Amino acid sequence: MAAFNIPYKLSLEGNVAQNWKIFIQQFEIYLIAAKKEAKADKIKISLLLNFVSEEAVGAYNTFTIAEENRDKYALILQAFENYCKPKKNQIIERYKFNKLKQQDGETIEHVLTSLKKAVKNCEYEGQEKSILRDRVVYGIKDATLREKLLETDKLIRGVG
C-alpha cells in the first residue's frame, strides 16, 4: 500500500477552474511522492488521464492538439487549463467591478476586499491601484468621509 494519497477525480461541475487548480496540485504532489515526476511525458499523461474523471477524459478526446504533440505533457496540461478556465468577458468584469459600492452596515474593509478580488478580473494592466482607489472613494456611503478622502492626495498606500 502506498504511503501517499492519490488525487481525487477532476470534477467538471461547479467551479471547474477551482476544481482543476486543486486537482493539478494534488496530481503534481502525487507525481513527486510516487517518484514519477521525472518519468517520460507519455507516462505522466497516462497517469493524468487515469486520475481525471471519465467526463474529463471525454473532454480530453475533444482537444484539438496535433497528433505529434499528444505526447507532450506540458501541452496536455495547457489544454486542460484552457478547457477548465472560464472565458472572461472584460466588459462584464469591469461592469461588475464598477457596480460595487458600500452597502448599509458593510465595513470599508469588506468593500475593499471585494474590490481587490474583482479588480483582478478586469485586466487594467498596471493601473489596478489607482482604479481601486477611485472605486473606494466613489463607492463609499459616508459623504463626509468621501469629501475627506477627496481632499487627501496620498490614498493609494492603504489600497494596494
Q: How far is CA 88 from the centre of its chain?
A: 11
Q: Higher pLDDT residue, 1 or 44?
A: 44
Domain ranges across the chain = 16-84, 90-159
Question: Grid coordinates in use for 17?
Answer: 477552474
Cβ partners under 8 Å of residue 27, min gap 6: 7, 47, 48, 51
pLDDT digits (tens, 9 = 90+) for 121-149: 888 888 988 899 899 888 888 889 888 88
> What's the angle, vertex CA 83, arms to CA 58 and CA 37, rounded to 5?
80
Q: Which of 94-103, 107-116, 148-157 has the lowest mean pLDDT?
A: 148-157
Question: What is the arithmetic mean of pLDDT over 1-7?
Answer: 73
pLDDT for 44 equals: 96
Cβ partners under 8 Å of residue 116, min gap 6: 132
pLDDT digits (tens, 9 = 90+) for 73-108: 999 999 999 999 877 788 888 999 999 999 999 998
Q: Which of 1-5, 47-51, 53-57, 153-157 has the lowest mean pLDDT?
A: 153-157
Is a pLDDT exceeding 80 seen at residue 1? no
Q: Please state, in angstroms and rounded to a whole number, the distance separating the CA atoms of residues 36 and 85.
A: 26
Phi, psi angle pair for 35, to nearest 5°: 55, 45
